[in-house]
Amino acid sequence: MNFYFGKPNEPYLYYLSPIVTWFIRQRFDNIHYFMEHPFEAQELVFQNLIAEASGTEWGKNYKYDSINNFDDFRNRIPVQDYDTLKPWIARMMKGEQNILWPSEIRWFAKSSGTTSDKSKFIPVSQEAMEECHYKGGLDLLSAYCMLNEDTKIFSGKGLIIGGSHQINNLNSLSSYGDLSAVLLQNMSFIGQLYRTPQLSIALMDEWENKIEALAQSTLKEDVTNIAGVPTWTMILIKRLFELTGKNNLRDVWPNLELYIHGGVSFTPYREQFKSLIKGDGMNFYESYNASEGFFAFQFGKRDEDLVLHLNNGIFYEFIPMNELGKEFPKTILIDEVKPDENYALVISTNSGLWRYMVGDTIKFTSIKPFRIKVTGRVKQFINAFGEEVIADNTDNAIAQACATTGAVVSDYTVAPVYLTYDNCGCHEWLIEFEKEPADLKIFTEHLDSNLRALNSDYDAKRYKDIALKEPTVHSLPKNTFYNWLKKKGKLGGQHKVPRLSNDRMYVDDIMSLIKGTLIDN
């Protein structure tokens, strides 16, 4: 027997559910096409992008009308980053049009990143919203519905834990906000019917009040699916438990069946979420959706690798790691990549980002179909001693240490302690535990041994403690990372704790905050 737990004035969602589910499943042919014909899909995207942008100022500057193939494109246009495109974007934010993309650009996704205090403003065209971001989300749901025959996901609502929206003061026609806020603001009428909370709450920019408003406004809703960054989703769940006295989210929302996560690795959070959302039939799916575009999504209940979306207005290039840092790095195309090698991601999009280096590193876990795994950030790694440790290594090492010791980690960051004349170096870990290990020393030993097994360069540097000694691990007081982000004005949205750094700026700042708190108390 099926029960409807939603508001009495919204039974139409329940009755429309079979129709909407059928419609979403029809999109599966789109997914099947680019999985079966990846090269043709990418070639078509490339030709369309060049043709569309040939009349823009950028297109005229680089003579797009005479680009006939990828080699012309690659030889004519250098690889870009935000700093090189920023002057062009700044003009668009002031209202100039037909600069990087022919259609009117009125929206910009604000991204603070994780390695810089400066904000980035990524142009978001109407084409990018419709053909990239919304299409990517619908294709994820299509794959989910096809692989979960008994789903009732559209009998209730989706809770989207997004960022904030602000009006760009540079001109009255341009607006900006976190990507989620931009997408919420422009979502279709049908899309708005299936989401919660109301827009005024979803777009609040004061995060502490927003969590309270989210909790209060959704308590009585029939939430069947959640989308959001793990850290802020956990904070909301804890507030819901405080309000209801429950300790299982499915006692609050009985029809909850799907959590779509992204933004940070889910590996350190997986077991914690399973303890917060108990029971059979709960699914955890990952999406790779950045301000610059919707890149990939999970395909299958147990497949944690992501299918690269190859026909939604993004043309992909990949920089091998040995080319990074060069003035003119060589890129390769989708037909040249190899499994289990790290690449920096470069994109050209239907918002006018041209040969743009996103800043993420990925590796292909499969090339038929093309499945990827996000392994870290170009600027977020530790290589102070030649160890070349990336976030994928640390996420998995910490997850294995937790599994062995029974600990549960909320968040962490790592930085080097540099070699001196008298002392060898090490990695210093700041970890906030949800459940502390019985013995921090044993946890540290497991963390170290797991990392050595995962990364041969790290293992070589650890040999007999010659260059690197065992890590130093600090167990932080509860809410340390939350208070640190709050101090920096970076609560909520896309703001995340940086995992890895080659300098001690973040670690020293967090440790000074802890010491200041202890002194004040």
pLDDT 10s digits, 324-358? 888 899 999 999 999 999 999 999 999 999 999 99
Assign 168 a pLDDT band (cuts: 50, 70, 90).
low
Q: Is the pLDDT of residue 496 over 80?
A: no
Q: Quick one: average pLDDT of 261-281?
A: 84
Q: Is the pLDDT of residue 516 over 80?
A: no
Identity of the residue numbered 261: H
SS3 at position 76: helix
Question: What is the Cα–Cα distance from 36 to 349, expressed in whole angstroms?
Answer: 22
Assign 422 a pLDDT band (cuts: 50, 70, 90).
low
Question: What is the Cα–Cα distance from 45 to 40, expressed in whole angstroms?
Answer: 9
Q: What is the pTM of this model?
A: 0.78
Q: Is the pLDDT of residue 313 over 60?
A: yes
Asked if 484 and 496 touch (Cβ cutoff 8 Å), the reply is no
Of 49 and 160, the structure prediction assigns the larger pLDDT to 49
SS (H, E, C) 336-370: HCCECCEEEEEEEECCCCCCEEEEEEEEEEEECCE
Assign 520 a pLDDT band (cuts: 50, 70, 90).
very low
Question: What is the Cα–Cα distance from 142 to 151, expressed in whole angstroms?
Answer: 11
- What pLDDT sits at residue 287? 94
Assign 167 a pLDDT band (cuts: 50, 70, 90).
low
Q: In the chain, how many H helices and how many E strands?
A: 20, 20
Q: Which residues in 178-191 are b (16+ Cβ under 10 Å) and which e?
A: bbbbbbbbbbeeeb
Per-residue pLDDT tens digits for 86-113: 999 999 999 999 999 999 999 999 875 4
Q: Is the pLDDT of residue 300 over 90?
A: no
Return mean pLDDT, the chain. 88
| Helix residue spans in 266-355 (DSSP H) | 270-276
Nearest to 334 by CA among 354, 312, 349, 317: 317
For residue 508, give the H/E element and its range: helix 505-520
Assign 434 a pLDDT band (cuts: 50, 70, 90).
very high
Assign 9 a pLDDT band (cuts: 50, 70, 90).
very low
* E strand spans, 383-421: 389-390, 408-417
- Among the residue ranges 188-192, 463-467, 485-489, 491-495, the one predicted with the least confidence is 491-495
Assign 491 a pLDDT band (cuts: 50, 70, 90).
confident
Q: Which fold has domain 12-19+128-306?
A: Rossmann fold (3.40.50)
Question: What is the Cα–Cα distance from 462 to 442, expressed in whole angstroms?
Answer: 17
Asked if 204 and 164 touch (Cβ cutoff 8 Å), the reply is yes
Could you state, in order of their start, the residue ranges of all structural domains in the chain? 12-19+128-306, 34-104+316-376, 381-520
Edge-to-edge strand list for the sheet holding 165-167: 120-124, 107-111, 175-177, 165-167
